[in-house]
Chains A and B, each alone.
Chain A
Amino acid sequence: MSDASREKAAMTLTPYARSLGIEVEDSSADAPTLAIDFSRNIEGRPSHFHGGATAGLLEAAGYAILRVTLDAEERKPILKPVNITVQYLSAGKQKRTYAQGRITRLGRRNANITVEAWQDDRSRPIATAVMNILMAEPKA
């Protein structure tokens, strides 16, 4: 992957995502893969991810795929979160954790996005999320 595409994907990270330690792992595919190393900042019960930190990673990956997709269409709307539903499938261990989103439907005003987070094995996600994000076009 080129540094330019990684940099472009990194632009989609919010100040919160960067502060938490979320990075762009790979932006060569249509959907950027984000990653976060285990640290004290994301620890819940001892040696495990806090559910809120896992949700933060999922949410960041949802925003990343949406921003990258909208950029490709030269759309620059203001994004407003409507909701997120997170399913926790197994405990997040002390490992680097990845997340990638997929746009299920991209409309004019709303995007419906699913996201998966995994650790060692992509086919065994530790958490999944469904997000709805409202897109408000800036007034001309």
Chain B
Amino acid sequence: MTSELQAFDPEAASKMFFQGGHTGYLGLRYHAHGSNWVELELPWREDLLGEEDREVLASGPIISLLDMASGMCIWTTRQVFQPVATLDLRVDYQRPAKDRSAVIGHAECYKITRSAAFVRGFAHDGDPENPVATLAGVFMTIAMDPRKV
């Protein structure tokens, strides 16, 4: 676990985060990060398709990809892992991803307060200038009940 003394490292944390759970099931991978942004990769897989007869990733896993990249860009910005809850997430789909193509999700935390974090991002399948989807999200830090610690 990342301690408060050691800054949150999205690359190191990815190894643990993506071992299991929903993100492990999707097979998410670390791609890149900066001081307030994180990029993850969603590999193409046959059981994640949006339509029976087309080899295009479904929109659902792209939401999960962008949601996860959002959480991680918040921890990267704060430099500490502190659970957050998604409050509002909007995804606009510009076009389907290319056949059999992995999708990269980029999320950037552009404003952070004590309890809220504002994120924008996009997903692309090779060319960041030609996104498949864009994202806007608001996240809240989860207040710890001192009686339960």
Q: Is the CB of B47 within 8 A of A41?
A: no
| B63 on interface, CB distance cutoff 8 Å | yes
Which residues in window 37-63 of A have CB below 8 A to B?
40-45, 50-53, 55-56, 59-60
Q: Which residues of B contact A50 (CB under 8 A)?
A: 21-23, 64, 67-68
Across the interface, which residues of A come within 8 angstroms of B67, CB to CB?
A: 50-52, 55
Contact partner of B22 among A14, A15, A42, A80, CB < 8 A?
A42
| Residues of chain A from 82 to 123 with CB closer than 8 A to chain B in the complex | 82-88, 91
Cross-chain contact of B48 among A15, A81, A86, A88 (Cβ < 8 A): A15
In this complex, the interface size class of chain A, counting residues with CB under 8 Å from chain B, is: 20 to 34
A72 CB to nearest B CB, Å: 21
**In the bound complex, do residue A56 and residue B21 qualify as a contact, i.e. CB atoms below 8 Å apart?**
no
Interface string of A12-47 (1 = CB under 8 A from B): 001111111000000000000000000011111100
How near does chain A come to B44, taking the closest CB pair, in angstroms?
A: 12
Question: What chain B residues lie within 8 Å of A87 (beta carbons)?
Answer: 87-88
By the criterion CB–CB under 8 Å, are B63 and A55 in contact? yes
CB distance from A62 to the nearest CB of B (A): 10
Cβ-based interface call for B91 (8 A): yes
A85 to B48, CA, bound (A): 21
**Which residues of chain A are within 8 angstroms of B91 by Cβ–Cβ distance?**
83-85
* Cβ–Cβ contact B60 & A15, under 8 A: no
A52 touches B48 (CB 8 A): no
Residues of A within 8 A of B25 (CB): 20, 40-42
**Chain B residue with the shortest CB-CB distance to A91:** B85
**Partner-B contacts on A (CB < 8 A):** 14-20, 40-45, 50-53, 55-56, 59-60, 80-88, 91
The 3 tightest CB contacts between A and B, nearest first, are A52-B64, A50-B22, A56-B60
